[in-house]
Amino acid sequence: MDADDLLDRSRRDGARASAAAAAGLAAAPARRAVIVTCMDARIDPALLFGLAPGEAHVLRNAGAVITSDTRRSIVISQRKLGTRTVLLVAHTGCGLASFTDDEFSTELELDTGLRPPWRPGTFADPAENVAAGLRALRRDPFLLPDTELRGFVLDVATFALTEVPEPT
Ligand SMILES: [Zn+2]
């Protein structure tokens, strides 16, 4: 699907349906929640958590990795838009478990002559990725101390969520 196909879909129904769904909503998420998850196209956070438009912030990246940009968005979400709950959701069968940081950086270097300035953020075990993310967030001096912070691994076959305890 190219850009024109996407724009056609927006013109046909998407824009009208989006405007209707967002009518009268405030920018601040009504459920005061932030969901951080992977960009995996199979995961629909609204469907998974029964969310309607206007209820939560959803932050997505490759792997549901807590990066400096994820932290930036969470802190702005909390301080400027009133959110207090953060759910971190990684998943089984994640592409980020299929190669290593070094392999990917070397692949880019062979193609472009440059190693990326960022860490690709690969991991072997999604539960370890969630534990590392919870630890990083809890140590973030800008995260509100009363944040309800919980982490999960989503099974992409059943979409069941298994909680990962917050590391002590
Ligand atoms: Zn993934």
The pLDDT confidence band at residue 94, using thresholds 50, 70 and 90, is: very high
Distance 91 CA to ligand 1 centre (A): 6
Is the pLDDT confidence value at 167 over 90?
A: no
137 found inside a domain: yes
44 found inside a domain: yes
Alpha helices in the chain (DSSP H): 3-9, 15-22, 45-49, 68-81, 101-112, 126-138
120 found inside a domain: yes
d(CA 89, CA 164): 10
pLDDT at 110 (0 to 100): 98
pLDDT at 134 (0 to 100): 98
d(CA 43, CA 52): 16
Distance 150 CA to ligand 1 centre (A): 18
Q: How far, CA to CA in Å, does 137 sit from each of 10, 42, 49, 132?
A: 36, 26, 22, 9
Instruction: Give residue-wise pLDDT tens across range 116-158.
Output: 999 999 999 999 999 999 999 999 999 999 999 999 999 999 9
pLDDT at 168 (0 to 100): 83
12 found inside a domain: no
Distance 100 CA to ligand 1 centre (A): 14
Distance 141 CA to ligand 1 centre (A): 27
Distance 28 CA to ligand 1 centre (A): 27
d(CA 159, CA 106): 34
Domain count, the chain: 1
Distance 92 CA to ligand 1 centre (A): 8
* CATH, residue 154: 3.40.1050.10
20 found inside a domain: no
Instruction: Give residue-wise pLDDT tens across range 15-47.
Output: 999 999 999 999 999 999 999 999 999 999 999
8 found inside a domain: no
- Which residue range(s) make up the domain with 117? 27-164
